[in-house]
Amino acid sequence: MTFSRNHEQVYFLWECPTCRIANQSDLIFCPNCAFNEGLAEPTPDRPERTSKITEALGSAIEWSLKHGQLKPAEIVAQAARKHPGIHSLEDLRRLPVADLSRLADSFLNFSRLGATGSGLTAGLPGGLAAFATIPADISALVYFSLRCIGGISQSYSLEIASETGQTIQLLAFAYAARVETLVIGQRRLENAQLAAFLLQNPEHTRLVKACLLKQLSAHLTVDFAKTSWATFLPVVGGVVNGMDHFWFLGEVGKRSKQFYRALLPGLPGFTPALPAGPVTLDVLEEKVELAGKLYDLYLVKPFNRVKLAFVVVIGEKPVAERWAEKLALAGIGALALDLSAGKEGLKTVWSYLLRTYPESYSPPGPGLLGLGEGAGLSLEALPLLDPPPGAVVLYDLAPLDKPVKVAVPLLLQMGAAAYVPAEGWLSNLTAAGERGLIAINTFDDQGDGPTGTGSPDYTAPAPGWVWLDTLDWLNRPV
């Protein structure tokens, strides 16, 4: 071990089993081995064409990092519209995480629009045309993915101007592409662990970046050869259509937000949200006759709260009621409605709610949460609801058989059992109007979905970020 008199700190050493060099205990990988790994040439048995694709991908990634970034002034200006006291990225650390997530969504949606559509290749940034070894739309997808992640990174107050910031951005891209660990310096490390290390030790950035670029490019090249990219993006002949771009950018945005949220607690100046105290619920059960029909209503809200977000939950009655209670515990008022009410019943109850409790919601209108069959019913009823919902969340929406345009912010939460991309239902769903916005989350479930088809004691989807994204989305009307 060594001893530093200046800092009065003891450093223990560990020996790399490969190169036998002793490293200090605060180093999570061997820098000497990492340097050699970053310089390693392609293996002799790798086909020449595959090597060229890997090289082109790496060059496209580096070009996009330099020329495709959103400027900090754009992020600060966007945040300052709702938070006038924001003058720099560091100021964002004072805001609640939910506000940062909404800011990140705005840049995700912009990138999705840029990466989708038949004119994508024609509008490709000029510098990317040089990478002729890979299809033009793949180059564009890399460009817009990194642009999207750059906006998300800065929304969570992390800069991307320095080489360290851009390397952390690459770690987020790798995580979004399902490369969740990196082998560097004879150790396999998680991306977030490496990012946190670089924030404290930026002098090791180039070692990490060199290894990361090689491994990420090789991973994407192999997936091309298998006709799939990142296990969820179909690629036919190396060419991707606009709808796949839309889907992939949604996955990039979702997983990048997870990645950067995990880094927030370690940032200087970050103000974590205080734990919520006990919540008392005000519960009202009533039978109301509306338009000649009797409706069972279950209204739940935090006690003594007047002005708050309000959500109508529609699904099977016991499941809808449990979700209404969960929303109320999170500070959102909710009215549970059985799906037997149908779309006309939902319209009727919607009008009744606004007439009876006008003080219980804030413009631009209440939220709507549809579960299982209630998701499809909610989508059908959207044109009938006046005023339209401020935000809509649908769980496990069944495949659509006809085009549907959505003019409100819509979040789709799709468990593995409901996610059927092969049926192409997404091509029937498009955003329309100034407020039209569609975001999609896909997650692995264990059979206990929000529709209650699994355990009768089901209370929340897994993993936890799904529920947090739902709360963020439904808080939009406030």
SS3 annotation, the chain: CEEECCCCEEECEEECCCCCCEEECCCCCCHHHHHHHHHCCCCCCCCHHHHHHHHHHHHHHHHHHHHCCCCHHHHHHHHHCCCCCCCCCHHHHHCCHHHHHHHHHHHHHHHHHHHCCCCCCCCCCHHHHHCCCCCHHHHHHHHHHHHHHHHHHHHCCCCCCCHHHHHHHHHHHHHHCCCCEEEECCEEEEHHHHHHHHHHCHHHHHHHHHHHHHHHHHHHHHHHHCCEECCCEECECCECCHHHHHHHHHHHHHHHHHHHHHHHHHCCCCCCCCCCCCCCEEEEEEEEEECCEEEEEEEEEECCCCCCCEEEEEECHHHHHHHHHHHHHCCCEEEEEEHHHHHHHHHHHHHHHHHHCHHHCCCCCCEEEEECHHHHHHHHHHHHCCCCCCEEEEECCCCCCCCEEECCEEEEEEECCCCCHHHCHHHHEEECCCCCEEEEEEECCCCCCCCCCCCCCCCCCCCHHHHHHHHHHHCCCC
Q: Is pLDDT of 124 > 60?
A: no
pLDDT of residue 360: 52
Q: Is pLDDT of 132 > 90?
A: no
Most confident of 60-69, 366-375, 427-436: 366-375
pLDDT of residue 122: 41
| Domain annotation for the chain: domains and CATH numbers | 30-266 (no CATH), 281-474 (3.40.50.1820)
Give how far the C-alpha of residue 328 lies from the chain's centroid of Cα atoms, to the nearest Å: 24
Q: Is pLDDT of 242 > 50?
A: no
Neighbours of 92 (CB within 10 A): 23
* Region at 406 (left for phi over 0; alpha for psi -120 to 50; beta for the rest): beta
Of 445 and 469, more confident: 469
pLDDT of residue 337: 93
pLDDT of residue 417: 61
- The arithmetic mean of pLDDT across residues 270-289, rounded, is 74
**pTM: predicted TM-score of the whole model, two decimal places:** 0.61
Per-residue pLDDT of 170-192, as tens digits, reads 999 999 888 888 889 888 889 98
Of 128 and 288, more confident: 288
pLDDT of residue 6: 47
pLDDT, the chain, mean? 77
**Choice among 18-27, 70-79, 114-123 with the minimum mean pLDDT:** 114-123
- The arithmetic mean of pLDDT across residues 196-207, rounded, is 93
Rounded to whole angstroms, how far apart are CA atoms 418 and 423?
A: 11
